Amino acid sequence: MIELDKKYTEENEWTEVIEPQSSLLSLNLKEVWRYRDLLLLLVKRDFVTYFKQTVLGPIWFFVNPIFTTVMYTFVFGNLAGLSTDGAPQVAFYLSGIVLWNYFSNSLNQTAGVFTTNANIFGKVYFPRLIMPLAVVTSNLMQFGVQFLLFIGVVIFYTLSGDLMPNAWVLMTPFLIILMAGFALGLGMIFSSMTTKYKDMTMLLSFGIQLFMYATPIIYPVSAMNERLRDIILLNPLTAIVECFRYGYLGVGNFNGDMLIYSTIVIAILLIIGTLVFNKVQKGFMDTI
């Protein structure tokens, strides 16, 4: 500390200036990096406290996808008779559900980040960006467990000869990053708007539900006619889901261009989201 003081004396420089208006681009990523320990500890907090005082503990992570898959298989597979591109129905629906759960949970929680943390944000300063980052990281835990369940199902069908996974499975980490980026970017834009106009929470809660039907979760892209297919391909999640299925289930029509398109859209969204979030975070305490 003495050394630090000396440095300040010599240079007579301010380490920080707090000002009303800051430019849109004054993003302090270095500061976020300095707080990386906080990110880890927040994730650890979620991990430690999630199952406190529950009997079944992490088994709850399995309950949701298993029952949803059974339901989807019955309703969409048997009653509605939707195509699964020839893949076993259980594996097909489970793959969609696992991905969708991660995306929708992350989006929902990121969008509510200002409202749920208003108490902490009102008392202490730390780079607010840490919070949405912690959300998408914490959700990886649930995703990881459900993903294991999915892998189990894939192995089962592979051994019985119904499935042939291919090298595209190696893309999985990249797909998860893309999905996290999409949820983060969209969530930050929504969270910035909810601080002032709570209407956005209403919009988001049913918007996410509808968005699932605009994503090939319960049906494959191939089941669409030409016109609808062009629309569905605009959704950046489409390429992610299709690539995931193509790798593990070997079905669906998928090519690298779609993935490049998704990557570009998500990157742009992420940049916009970060900038908007950064702009809003400085003054949101007065409006929330």
Partner 1 sequence: MKNIALEVESLSKQYRLGQVGTGTLSHDLNRWWHKIRGKEDPYLKIGESNDRTKKGDSDYVWALKDVNFKIEQGDAVGIIGRNGAGKSTLLKLLSKVTKPTTGNIKVKGRIASLLEVGTGFHPEMTGRENIFLNGAILGMTRREIKRKFDEIVDFAGVERYIDTPVKRYSSGMYVRLAFAVAAHLESEILIVDEVLAVGDAEFQKKCLGKMGDVSKGEGRTVLFVSHNMASVKELCNSGILLQNGQLAFQGTALEAVSLYQKGANTNNHYEVSSIEEAVGNDNIKILHFSAEPLNGDFLTISSGIKVTLKFYNNKPNINLDATFELRTTEEVPVFHTGALISTNKDSRQGMYDVSFEIPPNLLNAGSYYFKLIFGEDQRYALYHKDGLIGFEIENEILGSNSNVLPGVIRPDLKFNII
- From CA 57, how far away is CA 52, in angstroms rounded? 8
Q: How far is the CB of 55 from partner 1 (least distance, A)?
A: 16
Q: How far is the CB of 137 from partner 1 (least distance, A)?
A: 14
Place of tokens 């996290």: 180
Enter the tokens of residue 240. 């992610």
Q: How far is the CB of 36 from partner 1 (least distance, A)?
A: 9
Q: How far is the CB of 267 from partner 1 (least distance, A)?
A: 28
Interacting residues toward partner 1 by CB under 8 A: 1, 4-5, 8-9, 13-20, 34-35, 37-38, 40-42, 44-45, 48-49, 52-53, 119-126, 196-197, 282-283, 285-287
Q: How far is the CB of 157 from partner 1 (least distance, A)?
A: 40
- From CA 127, how far away is CA 105, in angstroms rounded? 22
Enter the tokens of residue 66. 């298993």
Residue 163 or 280 having the CB closest to partner 1: 280
Rounded to the nearest angstrom, the gap between the alpha carbon of residue 271 and the centroid of all alpha carbons in its chain is 15
Residue 41 or 164 having the CB closest to partner 1: 41
Residue 28 or 253 having the CB closest to partner 1: 28
- From CA 106, how far away is CA 109, in angstroms rounded? 5
SS (HEC) of 253-281: CCCHHHHHHHHHHHHHHHHHHHHHHHHHH
Residue 7 or 148 having the CB closest to partner 1: 7
Torsion angle of the four alpha carbons 24, 25, 30, 34, in this order, in degrees rounded to the nearest 10: 10
Residue 120 or 268 having the CB closest to partner 1: 120
